[in-house]
Structures are given as structure tokens and as C-alpha cells.
Amino acid sequence: MGRWKPDARGRLEKAALELYNHQGFDATTVAEIAARAGLTERTFYRHFADKREVLFPGDNPLPDTLAKAAATAPGALAPLEVVNHALIEAAPVFEERADLVRQRQAVIAANPELQERELAKLAALASTLARALRERGLETTTAALAAEIGLAAFKIACERWVTDRDGHTLAQYIQETLDTARHLTARDDVRCTGQEEVA
Amino acid sequence: MGRWKPDARGRLEKAALELYNHQGFDATTVAEIAARAGLTERTFYRHFADKREVLFPGDNPLPDTLAKAAATAPGALAPLEVVNHALIEAAPVFEERADLVRQRQAVIAANPELQERELAKLAALASTLARALRERGLETTTAALAAEIGLAAFKIACERWVTDRDGHTLAQYIQETLDTARHLTARDDVRCTGQEEVA
């Protein structure tokens, strides 16, 4: 049974990410992860169904965090503002574990199968967010598009954050990337500005 | 060797999509596809590496079409207009094969593994489009985001088109969905409209 050790889950995750990065995800065994963490395989399987679940945990709080933040955002916000609000609310989930998130991104970037799984998880998050936006009364296409743009911005913001040398927070990158999205979709604003000048 | 039959590839594709839809992708064998098309397995493998390649052909013209259209779009266009232009140029690739595209979408929607592969293909298309936008002089984040917004709009437009009962073209749905993207920051538009009313 082994002695009780504090934060077994955290130590298994740390050991797994180090091994995935050093020797590759495919080449790493659960036995090696457990040994590196100073724990048994049995303890590993008490926390994770398999070695992939270390990267894609079943109890990921992100979908709930996004859905709740979208549901409780102020009523007057434009669709993309609601998405912005939800993503900023979710940012601390990542910022609190910055080193682990960076290591995880590197593992996924090195493995096409894991990339496909990550894209599927992002698509599922977009669906969750789209549902929350529809429940705010947004039309189906508007909700789907706002959610997809939000997750695209989130993905790009994460990539910038994990390679960041300037010490910006993830929340700052999300804000910046969504500001870029606002400028990209601002054709109507430009027309309005022209009319103001005429007036 | 068998007698030469016209459009073997097209007949194999049609037979495969029918079987994938009727009995499921996983349950279908290459032998069954060949038999339904009145051809040999050997002929199947002359056209496709495996049964998945029927759905994800290696010689897909879409990446090149998008990249070329983005590269040759008029210089004065805003980033999202370039994306719009590229997607509209690519639309006939789908419209010419509407029935096959509808069947393909249904097969993929029924199979999580195929969905992951489809998401990976869309992500690769977004990368191709982002590269073409960078080559037009766009900054990295702007190019990545414009491409992601474009592919999200394209995905949503395709879903609307394949379930369409109104007879709209895919190009019309792409245009409409990108128009929706322009209204996602609608708070600013509302402000503009207010100013117009005052004037």
C-alpha cells in the first residue's frame, strides 16, 4: 500500500510532464512516472485513468468556469465582450500553474495525436461557451461564431503567453488578442467614423 | 487486372460514403467498398491509401486554393476581407460536389475520431491561410486571428449549408457568417447609430 504522501496527484503530474518532455509522450510508461514521483502505479491509477489523462484531466474545471462566467456577465455587453469576460475569468486557472501549463504545451506541440485531442477539447469548450451564449438569448450563428472567435483568441493568447519573455499575464494577452479581433471585425465602425467626419 | 471502367475514383468515393453512412465508418471494409463500386480492392488502393483517405484525400486542392486567393486578393482589402475573398474563391470546390460533401459531413459527425481528424485539417488550413496573410505583410497575431476567424466562419457556414432547406449557396452562407462576425462588437455600432440619429 505504501506510506501516505502529501499531494500525490501533483507529484505524479510533475513527474509525468518532465518525462513526457525529456523522452517523449509515447516512450514514457506509467511505471516510470510512478517511480519518478516516488509512488506506486496503483496510486497513479487512483488519480488518472491512463497517461493521457494527465494532460487532459476528466475533472477539468474550465468548461464550468467559462459557462458560469458567460451566464453571469452583465446583460448590456456585446457578444464578444461576454466572451472576453468569460475568458478573463478563466485565466487564473492557468496562471496559477504557469510552469505546468508551459510544459504541457511543449508536450502537446511535439505530438500530432495529442494536438488532435487538444483541438477536440478546444472545440468542446467552444460548444460549451456557445450554449451559454444562446442561453443569454443570442441567435445560434452569432453564439457559435462569438464562441469560436473567443477560443481562437484564447489559443493564440496561450501560445504568446507560454513563450512570453516580457512577463505579461495570460489575461493581458487575452485582452490584447480580443482587441485585435475587435479591430479585424470593425468595418462598420470605420464607415461610422466617416459619417461623423462628414457631419 | 479487370476491364477499364470510367471514373473509378468517383465510383469508389460514392460507394464508400454510402456504406459509411449506412453501416458506419468502422464497420465498413475496403472489400465492401470495392464490391459496391464494381471494382477490385487493387483498384481501390490505386486511388486511396486506406478507407480514411476517401474522407481526407492527400491531394485536397483546398489549401492551395485558399493560399493563392489570399495572395492575389486586391492590396487595399482589410484582413477579414482578404479571408472572405479566399473562402468565396474556395466555395465552388464544395458546391460542385454538394451531395458528396453532405454525405461526408454526416459520416464525420457520427464518429469522434473522424471529428478530431477534421479539426486537425481545419487547423492546418488556418495555418496555411495565416502564412499567406503574413506574406501580405500582416503582423503574426493579426494574421493568425484573421485566419482562425475565417475558418470558424467557414465551418459554421458549411454546417448551415449542408442542412440548408432554402437553396442558398455555400458562398452566400460564408458571406452571411462573416457579416455576422462584423456585428459581434455591436456595442460600438449601436453607439454609431445613436450618433446618426442625433445628426
CB distance from B140 to chain A under 8 Å?
Answer: no
Q: Which of B56, B111, B119, B136 has the highest number of chain A CBs within 10 A, making it the mutation to test binding with A? A: B119
Asked if A146 and B80 come within 8 Å (Cβ–Cβ), the reply is: no
The grid coordinates of residue A83 equal 466572451
Give this prediction's pTM.
0.86
Average pLDDT over residues B154-169: 89
Q: Which helix (H) or strand (E) holds A187?
A: helix A187-198
The grid coordinates of residue A132 equal 451559454
- Cα separation, B197 vs B96, in Å, equals 45
Q: How many CA atoms within 13 Å lie on the side-chain side of A80?
A: 27
CA-atom Rg of chain B in angstroms: 20
Asked if A115 and B112 come within 8 Å (Cβ–Cβ), the reply is: no
Asked if A145 and B184 come within 8 Å (Cβ–Cβ), the reply is: yes
What is A62-175's CATH superfamily? Tetracycline Repressor, domain 2 (1.10.357.10)
Asked if B185 and A115 come within 8 Å (Cβ–Cβ), the reply is: no
The grid coordinates of residue B44 equal 481501390
Contacts of A25 (CB under 8 A, 6+ apart): A51, A55, A107, A110, A111, A114
pLDDT at residue A193 tops 60: no
From chain A, the residues in CB contact with B149 under 8 A are: 148-149, 152, 181, 184-185
Asked if B189 and A185 come within 8 Å (Cβ–Cβ), the reply is: no
What is the DSSP annotation of B6-74? TTHHHHHHHHHHHHHHHH-TTT--HHHHHHHHTS-HHHHHHH-SSGGGGTS-TT-SHHHHHHHHHHHS-
- pLDDT, tens digit (0-9, with 9 covering 90-100), for B57-67: 988 899 999 99
CA torsion B119-B121-B127-B132 (nearest 10°) is: -130
Q: What is the pLDDT confidence band of residue A58, given thresholds at 50, 70 and 90?
A: confident
Contacts of B74 (CB under 8 A, 6+ apart): B85
The CA distances from residue B99 to B103, B105, B106, in Å, are 6, 10, 11
Domain boundaries, chain A: 8-54, 62-175
CB distance from B187 to chain A under 8 Å?
Answer: yes
Domains A8-54 and A62-175 belong to one CATH topology: no
DSSP letter assigned to residue A39: S
The pLDDT of residue B186:
54
Alpha-carbon torsion (B152, A149, A127, A76), positive or negative: negative
User: What length does chain A have?
Assistant: 199
Percentage, residues of chain B above pLDDT 90: 79
Which residue, B173, B176, B177, B87, is CA-closest to B132?
Answer: B87
Top-confidence residue, A193 or A154: A154
Asked if B2 and B43 count as a contact pair (C-beta separation under 8 A), the reply is yes
pLDDT at residue A60 tops 70: yes
The CA distances from residue B132 to A124, B72, B87, B143, B145, in Å, are 28, 10, 13, 8, 13
The grid coordinates of residue B108 equal 464525420
Mean pLDDT score of chain A, rounded to an integer? 89
Lowest-confidence region among A18-27, A64-73, B109-118, B182-191: B182-191
- Number of CB pairs < 8 Å for A and B? 123
Lowest-confidence region among A1-10, A107-116, A124-133: A1-10
Q: Which residue has the cell 481562437?
A: A152
The CA distances from residue A23 to A19, B82, B190, in Å, are 6, 42, 55
The CA distances from residue B149 to A173, A182, B5, B125, in Å, are 17, 11, 43, 12
Q: What is the pLDDT confidence band of residue B19, given thresholds at 50, 70 and 90?
A: very high
- Cα separation, B93 vs A97, in Å, equals 45
Asked if the ipTM is above 0.90, the reply is no
Class level of CATH domain A8-54 = mainly alpha
CB distance from A1 to chain B under 8 Å?
Answer: no
Average pLDDT over residues A109-113: 93
From chain B, the residues in CB contact with A156 under 8 A are: 141, 144-145, 148
- pLDDT, tens digit (0-9, with 9 covering 90-100), for B110-158: 999 999 999 999 999 999 999 999 999 999 999 999 999 999 999 999 9
What is the CA B119 to chain-centroid distance, rounded? 11
Mean pLDDT score of chain B, rounded to an integer? 89
The pLDDT of residue A164:
82
Asked if A142 and A79 count as a contact pair (C-beta separation under 8 A), the reply is yes
